[in-house]
Amino acid sequence: MDRFLNVLYNEMIKRLAVEENEKPEDVRRGFDNDLSVVRWQVPGGGNKYAEAKIEEGAPSWWAGDEEASESALAAMRAMGAKI
């Protein structure tokens, strides 16, 4: 089932309509936000952010403080920080 959903998702992404004044990555980001993909299960790993408490008014991509901290650390490591 997971494989089928991956194929379906990839086919949907290929068909996203990108207007003249839009960037493809912004359209994709909006699509992912609409689907809340950050809360999807990962095959073999589940989703540790599925139960994250989201404050009212938070953006749709927000997956809680823990995910934000992990993302920030990963970005710093990618830039060469020794963390």
Tell me the per-residue pLDDT of 29-75, one tens digit each, with 9 for 90 and over.
Answer: 888 878 777 667 667 777 666 677 777 777 766 777 877 787 788 78
Strand, helix or coil for residue 8: helix
Whole-structure pTM over 0.75, yes or no? no
pLDDT recorded at residue 78: 84
Contact assessment for residue 26 and residue 12, using Cβ atoms and an 8 Å cutoff: no
Q: Which long-range contacts (CB under 8 A, 24 or more apart) does 26-31 make?
A: 29/61
pLDDT recorded at residue 42: 66
Is pLDDT larger for residue 72 or for residue 20? 20
